[in-house]
Structure 1
């Protein structure tokens, strides 16, 4: 097993600085063989990448994790060395204790665990203040030992501050953060540093766009070329950020930096975000059980890269010519709230 750098969340849970994202088993990236998916999980674990990010809405993700967890215990007679970070993504509605308990019990059952390592709460509508009621119950369940770390997903700085001011301890906030989306640096980062809240970032590789594959590549268009939900989503982000021509300039610079370090463009893109002061970890999507979709060794290479002042200057020379997404879209998660 490789030695993978880890970060400690405020409740004591240690997770890898690169987490395995299971959004890609949700169905929007093709069908998943659950047996092969469990086998693939073991490959990641044996490589040292033991932290898995999932959600109640990610198709069979929680069940796949639970099957791996159960099979490991049966085979070896001990708790598997994995960390399961899941999400509860309810639609606005009643948020009494029974509603909250039902959702958490469902995740516990699917994941086949007695307590949740980390529960990340997402809410769609800030005008419905019942999210504060839900978080109050989740905080109580944390005190009862049912949840170890209480975290958020896609909350903006204003509402993160509101929650913290209510006395609710938040361990992390999962947000989009990449070379083409620097919004967390505008307000979120400073607040998180002040309150010992880690950022867990997704979209850091732009669904695969931030890679050699798209260097000197004609602008992809239509479903045939943007054939996964991730590619379509992050191509829209590239369009907002500055367009395909500027993106090609960025890829060219990243390629030059990567060659200086003997690594890949994804390594440079990952390292750039890992070095941000409030970032605890980067989530890299994994299509469990899909042949050829695993990039474990390349992912591990990210930990060996040290970006120099010249590297940063070259990269940021392109970034400063992009559009201000904070002004264009709004703070973290605003794109999900219309």
Structure 2
């Protein structure tokens, strides 16, 4: 059996790359079309390496270029889309999360906006500060002609949780930024925001009294990640090849298609994000890494690459321990018998 590993989209997040290189694209464009019909801001929270950036990129392609690269997918086959194209402002805040002494965060924010505007064929206004530049640039556009996509909005905040002063400065700037987005909401046809978590009590989203949080909505429980049906539909040949590869390496014949499925479920399934626990999904990073090198076995790829590291929790505990709680007390809190 010959397997084309170049079709596995490992480390690929751009929808355009999927289409141009004929990579395996797990088709969720029916959900994309359903979400894209809304005109109020939408927020989705998911862990790292679960497919948020690919989802954002799919929206980017759809709104900026239409259906040209969606042929053969549900959105075209089922005639789910008939909208026009828009200027898409796509901001990935993970690009500026690190704290650097030589450049203030606000300057990095401005340069990121400038780059995002340029890609949308917008010239950023030369203003006294980043918020004014954003506001004036948006104000010059006609109503309903823009789309705003924000990926990893919380990355710059999580990165500096241990630095109270820097965290507060970034929080205040983000709060002002999102308030400005709200005040210019008539300019946007669609607003979509992702993050690992939703910070509460920071007033960042307080301006959005109409934001639609789909993080726990069963309708979108499988909008990222691979369902069991998707795993078997899109990766059947690779799963069969994995059985052969492991049999060859271990000089056995115990590995079958069914056994590989069982081990994939044991190792990489079990994630459910919706309030009804209706959907269970596999972590794409782990699945793609295993299928690309099955002879290495069922390794914890997501954990090994930091995808599963709960940065928010770790940073919070580092600032919390020994200020309000002693480390010895924390051990007690984590002891099941103590909790009982």
Indicate whether the TM-score tops 0.5: no
Normalising TM by the smaller chain, what interval? 0.3 to 0.5
